[in-house]
Amino acid sequence: MSICVRIPTPLRKFTEGVAELEADGANVGEVLDTLCGQYGEFKSRLFKEDGSLNRFVNVFVNEEDIRFGDDLKTAVKDGDEISIIQAVAGG
């Protein structure tokens, strides 16, 4: 199974500028864990020590915020696209 993950700019310096990566996992948490396994610097930037996402990290599956789904347990399937976006607002 292959999920496309869009990497935000602040993390691209660890992926040599690559903006989209492929990773495996049955849900969002597993996919992100796979990535953190490959890129050690991701973990502390994305996750708190208790394993929950950092407050200012928003994750989307096919443009839908995972907090409207099952958070890190939101299921993903082949062809889905995960986006990691720094939270901003204003308006």
**Binding footprint of other proteins on the chain (CB under 8 A):** 6, 8-10, 44-46, 54-58, 60, 63, 65, 67-68, 83, 85-91
Output the smallest distance, CB 74 to other proteins, in A: 14
- Per residue in 72-87, is it b (16+ CB within 10 Å) or e — as a string? bebebeeebebbbeee
Residue 16 or 63 with smaller CB distance to other proteins: 63
Output the smallest distance, CB 79 to other proteins, in A: 20
